[in-house]
Structure 1
Amino acid sequence: MAQYFSIHAENPQTRLIQQAVQLLQQGGVIACPTDSSYALVCSMAFKDAQTRIRRLRGVDDNHPFTLLCRDLAEISTYAKVNNSQFRLLKAMTPGAYTFLLEASREVPRRLQHPKRSTIGLRVPRHIVTQTLLEALNTPLLSMTLQLPGQEVPMSIGWEIRETLEHQLDAVIDSDIVHVGATTVLDLTQDPPELVRAGVAPWPLLLA
């Protein structure tokens, strides 16, 4: 049965964050709030955890994960970023944007786009998510928590626990949760392309 962590949205309890980190370090799968609804997250190190997330979502091996990163420096570790891309990233992070970039050697091949060698990355604007990333000290693999047959992602902690309590290791509940998907921008294109319109607006600097 999934553990249930009620974590303050502005002052996350260190003890609960550490318990969530321990589960992730042991290969656990957690439902975590972000600035664009809930996400299923796991450590990059555990392929079994990634398989569990794909199974929960009802998607195949071609459905991409997104790397949740703490900041621009971490994005630059896991993606190849040129000067113009860096300026855009600096202007739009943190926020509910996912950026498609060429993956660096730090990203396992199984997580890259099979033909383009790209990876989606984002820096969430959510204190609980950021605190979890800081404590873990490495990016998290994530996928929007939208189950098969659902039209919108899940956004209420207790409902997630009731629905998935036997399939998750933990649910992090928080007072501040948004509903909707991220806005996806392909920065490998010049000019950048809007891949998916989400909760974040189309940036004026790209208009």
Structure 2
Amino acid sequence: MLVVDDEEDIHSVTSLMMLDLYYNSRPVQLLHAYSASEALSLLKSNPEVALILLDVVMESEHAGLELVHHIRSDLCYRNVRIVLRTGHPGLAPERSVMLEYDIDDYRAKTELTSDRMFSTVISSLRTFDKIMAYVREREAREKADQAAAAQRAAMAALEKRKADERRVELDAIAQHLEYTLLPNILDAAEQARLLCASVPSEGPAAPTAHILTIGETWEKVCEALNELLETLRDY
């Protein structure tokens, strides 16, 4: 918890009120800043601060309000709870301040008795805990979503690699079929055709039905292989 006030007495009284205060079985630790600039420096080096008790009038009449802007907009500390304390409520009217600045509570210093301070601090710390629990849950969901997306990407890459490997294998088969097997079969079919053509169609030397069937079969085999080759090319 950070106490920001330019009055030493306020720091002393606040420390006395917070003496032996525990929250969730842990002692509440106080940091002290006596100006807005010092508070800003402390917050940069202690981003885990859960609650700020902030005075309004310090270096200037609106130093505390300007610090709120720096905390929320420049440091982007959205989760830290800010309780504004002022001894000059006329300089910072409660309604306008609550509407215009991202603070969580507004208290006049005179009304912050020990019990009221205790209630304000515990309530603010409890709210901070709930916010941080939500933040951790959201981060866990985001990590889970990222892990799932990475797994899907890995599976897609694996499937693509397998498909590429199948494509390479099919290309090798197609090349063997096109440049080795099919030419040999075509040559054999052509030889069978020439053999049939060289024999008279009639008489004792006429080609037998067996020879004619062989020629027709080779032609059908060639047609089937050509169809298979086209299929492999389109795969």
Q: TM-score range by the shorter chain?
A: under 0.3
| Normalised TM-score (structure 1) | 0.24
Name which one, 1 or 2, has greater alpha-carbon Rg.
2
Q: Give the number of the structure whose residues are more often strand, by fraction.
A: 1
